[in-house]
Amino acid sequence: MSTCSTVSHDLDEPVSGTAATARTWLLLEQSGPWGAKALTSSHLDPALGRTLEAAAKDTGVRIALIRRPGRHADSGAPTTRQVYAAHTVPGNVWLRSATTRDPRDLLGLDLAALGRGDHSSFDATLGGDAHTGDPLALVCTNGKRDRCCALLGRPLAAELATSGVEGAWEVTHLGGHRFSPTLLVLPYGYAYGRAEAHAVKEVLHGVQEGRIVTEGCRGNSAWERPGQAAELAVRTAVREDAAEALTVVRTDGAAPHWEVTVAHADGRHWRVVVAQTAALPPRAESCGASVLGSPARMDVVAVRELRTSAASAG
Would you place residue 46 in the very low, low, confident or very high pLDDT band (cuts 50, 70, 90)? very high
Q: For the chain, what is the largest distance between any 2 Cα atoms, rounded to a whole number of angstroms?
A: 63
Residue bearing the bigger pLDDT, 24 or 31: 24
The secondary structure of residue 150, as a DSSP letter, is I
For position 296, what pLDDT does the model report?
85
Crossing angle of helices 197-208 and 154-162, rounded to 10°: 60
The C-alpha atoms of residue 18 and residue 179 are separated, in whole angstroms, by 9
Return the HEC string of 6-54.
Answer: HHHHHCCCCCCCCCCCCCEEEEEECCCCECCCCCCCECCCHHHHHHHHH
- Confidence check: pLDDT of 145 > 90: no
The C-alpha atoms of residue 245 and residue 232 are separated, in whole angstroms, by 12
The C-alpha atoms of residue 220 and residue 196 are separated, in whole angstroms, by 19
pLDDT tens per residue across span 169-210: 999 878 766 777 889 999 999 999 988 899 999 999 999 999
pLDDT tens per residue across span 48-67: 999 999 999 999 999 999 99
What is the mean pLDDT of the segment spanning 128-142?
Answer: 93
At 55, which helix (H) or strand (E)? helix 46-56
User: Could you give the C-alpha distances from 33 to 26, 63, 141, 171, 311, in angstroms and in order?
Assistant: 19, 17, 11, 12, 50
What is the mean pLDDT of the segment spanning 87-99?
Answer: 98
Average pLDDT, the chain: 88
CA angle, 189 then 194 then 200, to 5°? 55
What is the mean pLDDT of the segment spanning 292-311?
Answer: 83
Q: Are strands 24-29 and 61-67 parallel, antiparallel or unpaired?
A: parallel
The C-alpha atoms of residue 18 and residue 10 are separated, in whole angstroms, by 18
CA angle, 228 then 180 then 36, to 5°? 95
The C-alpha atoms of residue 84 and residue 124 are separated, in whole angstroms, by 14
Please name which of 311, 160, 204 lies closest in space to residue 250, comparing C-alpha atoms: 311
The secondary structure of residue 307, as a DSSP letter, is P
